[in-house]
Structure 1
Amino acid sequence: MDGTTIQKFFQQEALSMLDAYKNFETLIPSPKGAGAEHKGEDGRFVENLIRSFLSKYLPKELEVLTGFIVRPAVKVGKNDKSRRNENDHHSTQLDIVIYNSAHYPVFLRSNDTVIVPPEGVICIISVKKTLNPKDIKDELYALKEASKLCRSNSLRGPYLALVSMDNNIIRKRPETIDWIFKNMKSLYDADDDLAFDDMIGYIGAVKHWGILKKRPNKKNPKEARYVMFKHDYNTENHLWLQFLLTGILSVYYDNSRTNITRPGFTSFPSGRNYDRELGIITAKIPAKITD
């Protein structure tokens, strides 16, 4: 099976993004250790870098923005009054919101910061310069709650991701990846209103590894199966970028959202299996399987 041209292309793209971040650290060095001197700007630069790279590849009607989601308790569609007994709700500030602005309106916009209704949200990403222990539950909780705002009777929910440049979670018993999965499972198991789409699709420390949620099994649509990939820096750094793009495009081209044929855009090495299976987390509300 071919597709190596695409793999090489995204490998060079991923490395060029990391090189851009290294240049930022070089020009604004920290006298106290790794990273840039101004930590707030450090994180903001990473966020803007990821946003600019994603914007290069996605369809033009998808904007890569930042801001808030507002779910008003109003009629949806022609006569969907399912929110009748709800209250208006809004999310916390979200690092990256990928939004279909060609087909859905915007409440408020200031440059790339927006307040939007949930129907047009395709993906929500939390961005960290370095992944720390408290980020797992904090960021996954925020993404989960934002996902709930986007629940629909007809649309597949947005893709959720937590992306960092590096990792500061070091554990031995259990090992780092097992510790992360244990905390994920603890958070999700405690939620009696958890949908398959509310669970994270991808967590990655892009220099090292990624945790991926597999697509739902039609026989068990409540079960989220998580696997882990280690990234070889020189040959497999493209994996995180391709996993992210595949997840975004999977939602965008889902049959619940469009009848456009999904293009062949990403490619993974033939025979490259995941490095470890981490386990299964069971939702209370099954996935919407439309294809």
Structure 2
Amino acid sequence: MKLIACSLVLFVWSIWNRHAISKPVIGALGSNEAFVLDGEDVIPGEFPHQLLLERRNLNKWGLICGAVLISNVYALTAAHCVENTEVKRLRVVAGLHDVTNRNVSQHHPDFNEGPEFLTNDLAILTLSDGLIVNDYVQPIQWISQENITLDGYSCTISGWGKDESTNHPEVLQKVSISLISNQRCDDILSIFYNVKTYPGHLCGYEPVKGSCKGDSGGPLTCYYKEKAYLAGITSWNIMGDGVCNATFPSVFARISYFNKWIVENTP
């Protein structure tokens, strides 16, 4: 398997806003930590659209988030993963399965970041060199129809984030999660927190399973007639005492909501 590390010409169009909420805070999942809660190992090549987003600190590259390949030159990630980071300190790694076995942006105009409610949490990465498509590196088609209903679908979160034992897995992890309506999502969140989603959010809920810090930017992959489609980008989850809580929904940037913006900025 040939692994590719690619630097970025980063047009991080990020789209987020801040809305104050009651504590505990909503976790920005890309805060240099990562979890796939109750995940299992992925088969090599199962998610060829999955990218690893790394940042260089001093002379060492380290995982900060996931990303998703949507063409050989464009990728999507969560805006909070790349805000306030110099382009020269970022790279994506494609074709990666086991992190122990490798060779070595434009924000949406309404994006904001902080320890509050994240909205419009999406960014486009422009790769400095186009990637060569193979069995392990392939772009994914995203769901572009804005009014499509995904409630009840079982879709898959993937990432190299920390697991429940707070250890980073060596092998890409995945977990299936059921999608729910935003109203149902709000109902669950409002049991304990003053939080509401908005149309650009997509929620998944499966007790014990879900996403957490650092899986941010990675794909929510749904399947229709055995073909993979990108439905969301992992964005945030409820946290308490620094730990993600899978008893609450995982929240994603709803790709279909941003279809026009993505098309306009990926010529």
**Structure 1 and Structure 2 fold alike (TM over 0.5):** no
User: Greater relative contact order (Cα 8 A, min sep 6): structure 1 or 2?
Assistant: 2
Which structure: greater helix fraction?
1
Larger Rg: 1
Which structure: greater strand fraction?
2
Q: Structure 2 length as normaliser, TM-score? A: 0.26
